[in-house]
């Protein structure tokens, strides 16, 4: 009867993982060599049989009874070598098929060897063994024995190696005994203490949600460290009384810290479980990962960190005896099927790889690079002491493709090399200072963050672009509203006529004309009329509360209000500012107004519009946008994403949001038509769909909230050319739905202070849930990611977005101090020009696209409205019965946040507690 043997702890873990994720070659260990010279396949085959006969794990199969695994060791040593002739062209596929072949654990041997003959005396030898019976070290044992046997056979002598001091089966018995008799207790206590309150999961920005069926495919990148750098690592280690591995692990922790911001990082380090010399000649699974808990404290220097890592490593090695699987069972660690317990990031200082036939005078042997494989860890660094150059170091970073993009390992490896170069020379400086970029990183960043300038139309005013288009296509339809359509010429005449009326009420160059109209053809006409006079327009929504309206009119110094009459309580008329009613039948315009044109003396620095947004000190603030910013924006949008004469653009946004400029003005600069949705249309998704259909709208811009409602109603066959989403974060599921609705989908990003949109990115569908980037800077715009000290951050790292370039506002109206806080001088690294601090957290991906990561402050968007909760709190505090107040956004059951105020009443002190 066959003898049923127990498995080691490590084997049990692998057996379990194989059950969990069957059909993935995740536990295949493979290696390939190109061998040149007169190789003897017959002798090689016999040598392999000797190796299999000598090492019982290579004759072991694995089975299950009552839900528990057991293994059986077999006596025969079957042939394992396949010899095939393969074309050079097919070689890679052939090797891949061997290395990725799935083993059935119940069939032995769990070793596969293929020898491909690719030409006269040219061979490729591939060895694949299952991890349940071997580890990296085992490969060296295997090749040592193989070559000794091969040489003996070639010399016609018998191969008589010394007996192995013990078998793997015996080792398993000893391990089980140790587990039973408590000899690991002190080690387990050490680990329990070390890992108390350790973060269960390491994550980095930009990761995708974990898929339910992981592929475990790894993205990988590697670099051979320059000799000087490698030698510096060794020298630094020596001087610090540390090993090179300790220095590299410390640098790896800094790289991870740099990219993720994490300060408490648990690394898994595979170590050899061969803690006695008698285990060294055995093939089998002895490798055991141990945790290192690396904490990067503020102010710490690299010297400090290396000392800290040295303590960690020495502690880990001293307590490495309990197998990882036993440790996980003993410690009450958070378990998940989705990721590894205790650590998800590896630091693997690999031993030198085996060098078969190194001593052979007739055979040349070269290891072939491994194709990218699979990974169980989320992230890993593998350091190989390269053998081809003295002291050289090869660093390879791999990341799970299930949660990270293929740029992530490149970013991490980049950080690692940067950190090594800087830290070794500045090892006493605080680690925070390594957050600077290297010269080569800087060139790349400049290309992404401040792309070369594009010519801007030489227009003194945004109106010039519209006037030019009126002259080109006077009879083309320009705008469609509730009452019908106007051609370009008609729109121009209407604007000029209204301007004449405004002039009669005193408006002229430099006046602020408040436009108190909902979205309508009249509102558009009023904006153009203001520009015709050299005035700026100030949109104020008819829905504003009276107090807000009065404040804004007063703060802006509005000289005139354009409104619609007939409201029951006309707060506008009560404000004291002269009012022009667009629908006033008594007033007639001049019969023959001057044609729409740019007023003499107008210049690009003149104010085009003034828009008020929420202010944290309790009052809204007016953003002053000059014509040059609008001109640049119009020209940029007409190019990218691109609006063309055949487009029909839906105007859906209230004029009090700056994004209405894209809907109302951009079409008028290219000869396209705008369809203005009425307030009733805009509130009802079904009516909107009808409007879109009736007018054959091709371009729609909306906030994600509005898009969410629209896509729910969109019929299957509705197809847009261009869908623009902006103003708030676009989530992946909505992005994918939009991609099904429009030929092109763009995510648009921008604060009012930098003129509508400052970044834009084409959105592609992604079924794996990757975050939707906000794209790249638009024309003549720069976008920098800076840390708190204003230093440029490298790609991958989250920091505050600063925007510069043509779109910048002049400042906040009448608020020089606030203007100075938000519009700051640039540093030499950013080119010196003025930058707007957005308060938005972003990171640059490895491909130059930006990704949004929330706010540095509490500002939020509620149904598209930018709200500073502190503005509300400041107002509440002014109430006589309120002593103090706090306002926060809460996401209860809804996806949309709500504002919640907590107040302390004035007489609360007097009230009894309870």
Interacting residue ranges for ligand AMP, rule: CB under 6 A: 613, 726-730, 747-752, 774, 838, 840, 852, 861, 866
Minimum CB distance to Mg ion smaller for 130 or for 861: 861
C-beta of 380 vs 750, nearer to Mg ion: 750
Span of 92-100, 172-180, 679-687, 748-756 interacting with Mg ion by CB under 5 A? 748-756
| Residue 728 interacting partner from ligand AMP, Mg ion, none (CB closer than 5 to 8 Å by kind) | ligand AMP
**Contact in structure between 676 and 521 (CB atoms under 8 Å):** yes
Exposure string for 856-883, b = 16+ CB within 10 A, e = fewer = eeebbbeebeebbbbbbbbbbeeeeebe
Of 726 and 794, CB closest to ligand AMP: 726
Strand order in the sheet with 28-36: 81-85, 111-119, 122-130, 28-36, 364-367
Distance CA(606)–CA(459), nearest Å, equals 12
Q: Are 391 and 227 within 8 A, CB to CB?
A: yes
Nearest-approach distance from CB 659 to Mg ion, in angstroms: 6
Q: Report if residue 807 touches Mg ion, rule: CB under 5 A.
A: no
Q: Cβ 729 to ligand AMP, closest distance in Å? A: 4
Residue closer to Mg ion by CB (options 402, 658) is 658
Task: Return the one option of Mg ion, ligand AMP, none that residue 302 interacts with (CB less than 5 to 8 A, by type).
Answer: none
Those residues whose C-beta lies under 8 Å from the C-beta of residue 232, and which sit 6 or more positions away, are 420, 424
State the binding partner of 729 from ligand AMP, Mg ion, none, CB within 5 to 8 A by kind. Answer: ligand AMP
- Distance of alpha carbon 868 from alpha carbon 18, whole angstroms: 52
Contact 219, 206 (CB under 8 A): no
Q: Distance between CA 253 and CA 264 in Å, rounded?
A: 9
Q: Minimal distance in Å, beta carbon 670 to ligand AMP?
A: 23
Within 557-590, residue ranges assigned H as helices are 571-574
Give 47 or 705: the residue with its C-beta nearer to ligand AMP.
705
Q: Which does 838 bind (CB under 5 to 8 A by kind): Mg ion, ligand AMP, none?
A: ligand AMP
Q: Tell me how far, at minimum, the Cβ of 271 lies from ligand AMP, in Å.
A: 45
708 binds Mg ion (CB under 5 A): no
Looking at beta carbons only, is 481 or 750 nearer to Mg ion?
Answer: 750
Number of H helices, E strands in the chain: 25, 38
- Residue 840 partner contact from ligand AMP, Mg ion, none using kind-dependent CB cut-offs of 5 to 8 Å: ligand AMP
Residue 632 interface partner, choices Mg ion, ligand AMP, none, CB cut-off 5-8 Å depending on type: none
Q: Which is nearer to Mg ion, 323 or 750 (CB)?
A: 750
**Cβ contact 830:782 at 8 Å:** yes
For residue 524, the minimal CB distance to ligand AMP (Å) is 20
The nearest distance, CB 551 to Mg ion, in angstroms, is 22
Q: Which is nearer to ligand AMP, 604 or 771 (CB)?
A: 771
Are 548 and 538 contacting, i.e. CB atoms less than 8 angstroms apart?
no
Q: Which does 749 bind (CB under 5 to 8 A by kind): Mg ion, ligand AMP, none?
A: ligand AMP
Q: Is 821 helix (H, G, I), strand (E, B) or coil?
A: helix
From ligand AMP, Mg ion, none, interface partner of 254 (C-beta below 5 to 8 A by class)? none
**Per CB under 5 A, 750 contacts Mg ion:** yes
559 makes contact, choosing from ligand AMP, Mg ion, none, with CB < 5 to 8 Å by partner type, with none
Per CB under 5 A, which region of 3-11, 260-268, 295-303, 750-758 contacts Mg ion? 750-758
Nearer to ligand AMP, 324 or 749 (CB): 749
Q: Give the binding range for Mg ion (CB under 5 A) out of 109-117, 435-443, 645-653, 747-755.
A: 747-755
Q: Which is nearer to ligand AMP, 567 or 854 (CB)?
A: 854
Residue nearest to ligand AMP (CB): 752
Length of the chain: 914
For residue 170, give the 3-state DSSP assignment: helix
What beta strand segments (E) does 695-766 contain? 699-702, 720-726, 742-749, 759-763
Please say which residue, 729 or 886, places its beta carbon nearer to Mg ion: 729
Q: State the minimum distance, in angstroms, from the CB of residue 831 to ligand AMP.
A: 22
Q: In the complex, what is the shortest distance from the CB of residue 775 to ligand AMP, in angstroms, rounded to a whole number?
A: 9
> Which of 653-691 are b and which e, b meaning 16 or more Cβ less than 10 Å from the residue's Cβ?
bbbbbbbbbbbbbbbbbbbbbbbbbeeebbebbeebbeb
Task: Return the one option of Mg ion, ligand AMP, none that residue 774 interacts with (CB less than 5 to 8 A, by type).
Answer: ligand AMP
CB 471 within 8 A of CB 489: no
Q: How many residues lie near Mg ion (CB under 5 A)?
A: 1
What does the CA dihedral 552, 553, 554, 557 come to, rounded to 10 degrees?
Answer: 120
Q: Which is nearer to Mg ion, 577 or 752 (CB)?
A: 752
- Give me the DSSP letters along 750-789: --GGG-S-SEEEEE---TT-PPPP-BEE-TTEEEEEE-TT
Q: Which is nearer to Mg ion, 8 or 838 (CB)?
A: 838
Q: How far is the CB of 839 from Mg ion (least distance, A)?
A: 13
158-164: Cβ within 8 A, 24+ apart: 159/47, 159/50, 161/54, 164/54, 164/55, 164/281, 164/282
Residue 750 C-beta: closest distance to Mg ion, Å: 4
Query: What is the smallest separation between the CB atom of 897 and Mg ion, expressed in angstroms?
Result: 18
Nearest CB to ligand AMP, comparing residues 472 and 863: 863
In angstroms, what is the minimal distance from the CB of 858 to ligand AMP?
12
Task: State in angstroms the smallest separation of the CB of 765 from Mg ion.
Answer: 25
User: Segment contacting Mg ion (CB under 5 A): 128-136, 746-754, 770-778, 868-876?
Assistant: 746-754
- Let me know: does 703 contact 655? Beta carbons within 8 Å: no
**Are 400 and 207 contacting, i.e. CB atoms less than 8 angstroms apart?**
no
Asked if 620 and 551 count as a contact pair (C-beta separation under 8 A), the reply is yes
Tokens of 258: 């740099």
Closest CA to 725 of 711, 715, 538: 711
| Site stretch for Mg ion (CB under 5 A), options 96-104, 240-248, 742-750, 843-851 | 742-750
What are the helix (H) ranges across 272-430? Answer: 302-318, 324-330, 408-425
Which of these segments, 401-409, 614-622, 749-757, 873-881, binds Mg ion (CB under 5 A)? 749-757
* CA distance readout (Å), 102 to 64, 107, 141, 283: 19, 11, 23, 21
Nearest approach in angstroms of CB 367 to Mg ion is: 55
Select the binding partner of residue 755 from Mg ion, ligand AMP, none (C-beta < 5 to 8 A, by kind): none
Q: Which of 296, 444, 425 is nearest to 792 (CA)?
A: 444
Stretch that binds Mg ion, among 54-62, 743-751, 763-771, 853-861 (CB under 5 A): 743-751
Contacts of 225 by beta carbon, 8 Å cutoff, 6+ apart: 233, 392, 393, 394, 395, 417, 420
* Closest separation in Å from C-beta 867 to ligand AMP: 9
Tell the smallest beta-carbon distance from residue 658 to ligand AMP (Å). Answer: 6
* Spatial contact of 32 and 124, defined as CB atoms under 8 Å apart: yes
Q: How far is the CB of 249 from Mg ion (least distance, A)?
A: 45
Which residue, 283 or 659, has its beta carbon nearer to Mg ion? 659
Backbone angles phi, psi at 652, to 5 degrees: -120, -15
The single-letter DSSP state of residue 127 is E
- Please identify, using beta-carbon distances, which residue of 236 and 633 lies nearer to Mg ion: 633
Phi, psi of 29 (to 5 degrees): -105, 125
Nearer to Mg ion, 286 or 749 (CB): 749
Can you tell me the distance from the alpha carbon of 489 to that of 494, in angstroms, rounded to the nearest whole number?
A: 9
Question: Which one of Mg ion, ligand AMP, none is in contact with 613 (Cβ closer than 5 to 8 A by kind)?
Answer: ligand AMP
Kindly list the residues in this chain that would bind Mg ion in the complex (CB under 5 A).
750
């Amino acid at each position: 009867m066959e003898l049923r043997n127990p498995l080691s702890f490590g084997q049990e873990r692998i057996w379990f993982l194989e059950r969990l994720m069957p059909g993935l070659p995740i536990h295949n260990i493979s290696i390939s060599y190109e061998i040149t010279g007169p190789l003897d396949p017959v002798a090689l085959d016999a040598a392999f049989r000797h190796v299999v006969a000598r090492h019982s794990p290579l004759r072991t199969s694995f089975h299950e009874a009552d839900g528990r695994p057991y293994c059986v060791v077999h006596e025969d040593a079957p042939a394992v070598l396949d010899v095939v002739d393969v074309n050079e062209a097919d070689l890679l596929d052939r090797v891949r098929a061997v290395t990725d072949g799935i083993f059935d654990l119940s069939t032995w041997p769990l070793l596969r060897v293929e020898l491909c003959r690719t030409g006269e005396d040219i061979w490729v030898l591939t060895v694949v063994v299952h991890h349940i019976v071997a580890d990296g070290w085992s490969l060296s044992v295997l090749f040592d024995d193989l070559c000794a046997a091969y040489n003996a056979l070639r010399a016609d002598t018998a191969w008589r190696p010394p007996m192995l001091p013990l078998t793997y089966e015996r080792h398993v018995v000893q391990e089980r005994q140790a587990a039973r008799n408590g000899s690991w207790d002190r080690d387990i206590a050490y680990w329990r203490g070390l890992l108390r309150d350790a973060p269960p999961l390491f994550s980095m920005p930009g990761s995708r949600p974990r898929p339910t069926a992981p592929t475990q495919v790894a993205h990988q990148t590697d670099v051979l460290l320059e000799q000087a750098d490698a030698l510096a690592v060794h020298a630094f280690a020596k001087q610090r009384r540390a090993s090179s591995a300790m220095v590299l692990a410390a640098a790896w922790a800094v790289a991870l810290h740099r990219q993720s911001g994490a300060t408490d990082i648990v690394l898994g380090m595979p170590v050899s479980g061969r803690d006695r010399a008698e285990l060294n000649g055995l093939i089998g699974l002895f490798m055991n990962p141990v945790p290192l808990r690396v904490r990067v404290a503020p102010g710490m220097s690299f010297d400090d960190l290396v000392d800290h890592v040295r303590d960690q490593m020495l502690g880990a090695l001293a307590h490495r005896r309990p197998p990882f699987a036993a440790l996980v069972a003993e410690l009450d660690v958070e378990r998940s099927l989705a990721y590894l317990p205790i650590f998800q990031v590896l630091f693997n200082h690999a031993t030198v790889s085996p060098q078969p036939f190194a001593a052979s005078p007739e055979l040349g042997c070269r290891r072939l690079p491994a194709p990218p494989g699979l990974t169980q860890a989320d992230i890993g660094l593998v350091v190989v002491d390269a053998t081809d150059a003295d002291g050289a170091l090869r660093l390879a970073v791999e990341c799970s493709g299930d949660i990270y993009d293929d740029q992530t390992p490149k970013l991490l490896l980049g950080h690692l090399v940067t950190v090594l170069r800087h830290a070794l020379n500045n090892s006493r400086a605080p680690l925070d200072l390594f957050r600077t970029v290297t010269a080569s990183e800087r060139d790349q960043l400049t290309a992404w963050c401040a792309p070369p300038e594009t010519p801007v139309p030489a227009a003194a005013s945004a109106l010039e672009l519209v006037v030019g288009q009126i002259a080109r296509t006077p009879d083309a339809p320009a705008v469609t509203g509730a009452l019908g359509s106007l051609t370009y010429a008609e729109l121009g005449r209407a604007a000029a006529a209204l301007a004449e009326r405004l002039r009669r009420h005193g408006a002229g160059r430099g006046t602020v004309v408040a436009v108190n109209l909902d979205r309508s053809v009249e509102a558009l006409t009023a904006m153009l009329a203001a520009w015709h006079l050299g005035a700026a327009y100030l949109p104020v929504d008819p829905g504003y509360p009276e107090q807000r309206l009065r404040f804004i009119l007063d703060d802006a110094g509005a000289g005139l209000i354009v409104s619609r009459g007939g409201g029951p309580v006309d707060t506008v008329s009560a404000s004291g500012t002269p009012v022009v009613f667009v629908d006033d039948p008594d007033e007639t315009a001049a019969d023959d107004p001057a044609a729409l044109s740019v007023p003499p003396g107008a210049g690009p620095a003149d104010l085009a519009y003034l828009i008020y947004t929420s202010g944290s000190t309790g009052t809204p603030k007016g953003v002053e946008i000059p014509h040059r910013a609008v001109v640049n924006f119009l020209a940029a949008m007409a190019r990218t994403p691109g609006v063309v004469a055949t487009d029909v653009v839906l105007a859906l946004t209230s004029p009090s949001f700056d994004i209405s400029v894209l809907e109302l003005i951009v079409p008028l600069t290219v000869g396209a038509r705008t369809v203005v949705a009425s307030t009733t249309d805009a509130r009802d998704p079904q009516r909107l769909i009808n409007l879109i259909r009736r007018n054959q709208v091709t371009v729609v811009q909306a906030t994600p909230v509005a898009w969410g409602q629209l896509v729910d109603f969109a019929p299957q066959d509705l197809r847009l050319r261009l869908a623009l989403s902006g103003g708030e974060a676009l989530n992946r599921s909505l992005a994918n739905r939009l991609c099904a609705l429009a030929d092109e989908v763009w995510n648009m990003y921008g604060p009012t202070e930098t003129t509508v949109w400052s970044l834009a990115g084409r959105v592609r569908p992604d079924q794996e849930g990757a975050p939707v980037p906000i794209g790249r800077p638009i024309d003549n715009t720069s976008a920098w990611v800076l840390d708190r000290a204003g230093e440029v951050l490298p790609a991958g790292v989250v920091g505050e977005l600063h925007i510069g370039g043509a779109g910048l506002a002049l400042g906040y109206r009448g608020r020089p101090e606030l203007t100075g806080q938000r519009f700051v001088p640039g540093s030499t690294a950013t080119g010196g020009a003025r930058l707007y601090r957005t308060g938005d957290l972003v990171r640059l991906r490895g491909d130059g696209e930006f990704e949004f990561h929330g706010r540095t402050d509490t500002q939020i968007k509620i149904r598209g409205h930018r709200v500073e909760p502190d503005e509300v709190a400041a107002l509440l505090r002014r109430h006589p019965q309120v002593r103090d107040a706090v306002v926060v956004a809460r996401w209860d059951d809804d996806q949309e946040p709500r504002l919640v105020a907590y107040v302390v009443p004035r007489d609360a002190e007097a009230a009894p507690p309870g």
